[in-house]
Amino acid sequence: MSSPFFIKASQKPKLGKTGKNATVSKRKGDGDSGGKVKSKKQNLKYNEEISSDSEAEGPIAGKKRQSKEEHEYDETPQEKKLRLAKLYLSQLKEEEENKAEGESFETDLIAGRLQDDVLEQKGKLQRLIAKDLMPPDASEIRLLRGHKLPITCLVISPDDKCIFSAAKDCSIIKWDVESGKKLQVIHGGRKGTEDRHVGHTAHILCMSISSDGKYLATGDMNKLIMIWEAETCKHLYKFTGHKGPVSGISFRKGTHDLYSSSHDRSVKVWNVDENAYVETLFGHQDAITGLDSLSRERCVTAGGRDGSVRVWKIAEESQLVFHGHEGSIDCIQLINEEHMITGADDGSVCLWSVNKKKPLCTVKQAHGCHGDAGLEQPHWVAAVAALQNSDVVASGVFGSSSNSKVQLWKCGQNYRGLQPLFDVPLVGFVNSLKFSHSGHFLVAGVGQEHRLGRWWRLKEARNGVCIIPIKRKPPSQEEASLDN
């Protein structure tokens, strides 16, 4: 939970002199014991005390001051003490009132955040922000170039300052989001050099970063899982055990437990802190194509051509099976603990609840079709992403250079509908999508080929990482007046 709002109390007032940093002496009248009338000069001597910052005064100025002081009220020491005491008490009262208002605001803020945390744990938190989003200008989209072959997967660091991307060239690059510069590069090796090369020697298919930003995990076509230190990109461990390409990988939020899935149809659990294997779960009837998890001790998987989505309850070693797509389910992402989004090669996008066996919403041909009349085929949905605990999701499609794009969607109330918001045209295969944790930008991994194969190639596409800003509409005059 974020640190609370702190309101700084104003400092206590300092008791000081009043007026012109001077004290006025009490006048002596004609009835003094001396019995003599004082001259004007003598009156000035008794009635005035010149302050250190005043200028030299002539007789004319002295006369004016004397005339003015004759009309001023002479404040006794007791009256002065009473007046300053009242002023001090009023200022203390004002400070206490401001402090009470600040504490009330802070209490309301903390209560609101606690309520959000409870709703998040229950999977019922849905921040309604889709209505405020607007498409970015093409000039605002940045493309980071560095990989020689198509991008296959990417992740964003928890502080949103860095992006990690991987590609078919077996390399991993750590990028600085603000400058777009490379911070670290882990070069890939050639096939057959596994014994002497520290790193991947086959296409990297998936990656994940722990919620504290300590570990980075990557999986490849060679059935291997590599664990890296995210800060330095230093290689730590190598996990073996899968009998097929590692297609999905995810750290459980708040822990260093790691879930992995493979084309061998299994899900494995690992403990990264202990560099240890924990267990293996079976159930899918075909290659698993994607995996995701949040803070609960469970994960969700897309079963490819077995047409199923599964929720794995790790502690109970049980699973829930869901059906809804008509084609191969190629990508999956959790929106919150109770809802998820999937995409398939039948061109459909589905919204699910873990409490319903069928999708809450299905959009068929979500990105349109291609081909001649009568032979149209829907564009495959190759990647999906969700801005966690919100009503915004995205899907990526590939096809010809004219219809490769990222589509942003607004989820209906309780996730029972999908409405298109706007699309962002890109050239190439959108192989991976991730929202930043702050929701300020969306990152797309783009390539000339699909991440899982080489069915066709878009020569005009450029292999790279696209950073797409998420813009918000300026508040209306009515909203601005309410805020003020």
Calpha distance 331→248 (Å, rounded): 10
Residue 323's pLDDT is 95
Residue 70's pLDDT is 45
Calpha distance 102→110 (Å, rounded): 12
Token match 């955040």: residue?
A: 113
Q: Containing H/E element for 341?
A: strand 339-344
Q: What residues pair up with 69 in beta bridges, in sequence order?
A: none
Token match 């930043």: residue?
A: 436
Residues 6+ positions from 477 with CB-CB distance below 8 Å: none
- Would you say 238 and 246 are in contact if contact means Cβ atoms under 8 Å apart? no
Residue 403's pLDDT is 64
Give residue limits of the domains in the chain: 79-122, 130-478
Residues 6+ positions from 478 with CB-CB distance below 8 Å: none
∠399-206-353 over CA atoms, to 5°? 80
Which residue type does 80 have?
K
Which residue type does 430 have?
V
Distance from chain centroid for Cα 340: 19
Query: Of all residues in the chain, what percent are helix, strand and coil, respectively (each to 5)?
Result: 15, 35, 45
CB count in 10 Å sphere of residue 161: 14
**CA neighbours closer than 13 Å in the CB half-sphere of residue 372:** 0
Cα radius of gyration (the chain): 35
Give tens-digit pLDDT for 174-233: 999 999 999 999 999 888 787 788 899 999 999 999 999 999 999 999 999 999 999 999
Calpha distance 130→412 (Å, rounded): 10
Calpha distance 290→277 (Å, rounded): 20
CB count in 10 Å sphere of residue 479: 12
Calpha distance 175→152 (Å, rounded): 16
Calpha distance 245→222 (Å, rounded): 6
Tokens of 457: 């190639």
Token match 């202990």: residue?
A: 274
- Would you say 364 and 313 are in contact if contact means Cβ atoms under 8 Å apart? no
Q: Is 56 left (phi over 0), alpha (psi -120 to 50) or beta?
A: beta
Distance from chain centroid for Cα 83: 54
**In the CATH hierarchy, which fold is given to the domain comprising 130-478?**
Methylamine Dehydrogenase; Chain H (2.130.10)
Burial class (CB in 10 A: 0-12, 13-18, 19+), 395: buried
Distance from chain centroid for Cα 95: 36
Tokens of 89: 């008490």
Tokens of 80: 């002065």
For the four alpha carbons of 330, 334, 338 and 340, in that order, the dihedral sign comes to negative
Residue 99's pLDDT is 76
- In the sheet that holds 257-262, the strands lie side by side as 246-251, 257-262, 266-271, 276-282
Residues 6+ positions from 137 with CB-CB distance below 8 Å: none
pTM of the model: 0.74
Calpha distance 448→460 (Å, rounded): 8
Calpha distance 132→413 (Å, rounded): 16
Distance from chain centroid for Cα 380: 28
Residue 216's pLDDT is 98
Name the 3-class secondary structure at 410.
strand
Residue 356's pLDDT is 93
Residues of the chain scoring pLDDT < 70 = 1-73, 101-125, 372-374, 398-403, 476-484
Beta-sheet pairing, 298-302 with 215-220: unpaired
CB count in 10 Å sphere of residue 429: 29
